[in-house]
Structure 1
C-alpha cells in the first residue's frame, strides 16, 4: 500500500534519461516485469511517471524500511532471475540512470492510493542555504498552510538521507542537501506556485527543480 509508513523511511526519487522514442517501451516492460517482483524482494513502488515536458524522461519512486533492508532488497532483485532475464532490455532503453535522490521523511508522507486524485503530480526539489531541518520547519509552518488555503495540498515532504549508499552498483546524487515536496497541480495553480518559488528564493542556494509528472497506468501515486 502506498501509505505504508514503514516503507517511507528511505525513498528513492529516480529520474532516467532514455534514448529518444523509447519511454513507452520501458514503461511497458517495467509495468509487466518489475512491479510485483521488486515488491516481493522487500520494497514498495510508490509512483511511475511520464514527464510531459521531457519526452525522454522516466521518473519513479520506491521505498524501503531502512538502509539495511534497502541493501538486502536491492541485492535480492538485481542479482536475481527477473533482472537477469529482463534487465538488459531495460538498460538498452537508457542513456543515464544516475539522477537519483536518496531521501528520508521530513513531514507528511505519501497518501493512500487514490487520495491524491487522478491528476498530474508536481515534484519540487529545493536546495536550502542553511540547515535542511530549518527549511523543512519553515515550509511546514508557513508555506504548506498558505498553499493549502489557496487550494494546493502538499504531501510527501522529504529531505536528503545522509547515510552512505549501501548499494553502490546504483549511484545516487551525493554532495548536496535537498528538501523535496509533492503536490497535485492544476492550471489555475501555476501562477501561485511560481510566486511561491519567488518567495522562497532567499532561502535557496540554487533555483528549485520543479517538474510536472503524469502517472502511468500502474502508478499507485496519482
Structure 2
C-alpha cells in the first residue's frame, strides 16, 4: 500500500482527491505545520527538501504532486483522468497540468503571501495574476471543468492554488474562476479529501 506523507493545508490534498477517485486506500502519515506555518523538520527524514506531498511505494520515494498524480494513474491503469493519449486535448491537458506549478503558482503566491499577512499586493504582482486568471478563464470556457464535466488531473492540480486565491478573496474580479472553484468543491474526490484531511487552504 502507498504511504502518503501529508502536511496540513498543503498540496497533499491533491493526492488524496485522486486516491479517492480511484477508490484506493493509502497509509497516511499526517504532519502539522509549525507556528510559522512551515513544514516540520521531521519531513526532511522522508525527503531532503522536507516536501509534502511525498509518497513511498515499493521502496521508492516520489515527490512533486504532478509527478505523483501521473504515477498513480499509471500504477492503477486509470484512463479517466486524462483525455485520450496522443490527442490535441491530451497535450493541452499535459500543459495545464504542468502550468499549475510551473507558471501559475509563482505568480499567485506574489499576491497570496501579502494577503496572508493582511497586506495588499504590489500593482505589478496583481496585474500579473490578473493576466493568468484571464488565461485560465479562457481555458475553462464553457466548462464546467477544464475538459467537460469530469475532473482531470489538471483540475486536481489547479485546485490548490485556486483554493488559496478563494480563501483570501482574490477571485472577486474573476467570476469564471470563482464559479470553477465552486464546481471543484462539488466533486466527490474533493469532498472525500476534505473529509479525510481537512480543507486545502487554512481557515480564516
> Does TM, scored on the shorter chain, surpass 0.5?
no
Give the structure with the higher percent helix.
2
Give the structure with the higher percent strand.
1
TM-score for both structures, normalised by structure 2: 0.30
Flag the structure with more relative contact order, 1 or 2, with Cα contacts below 8 A and sequence separation at least 6. Answer: 1
TM-score for both structures, normalised by structure 1: 0.29
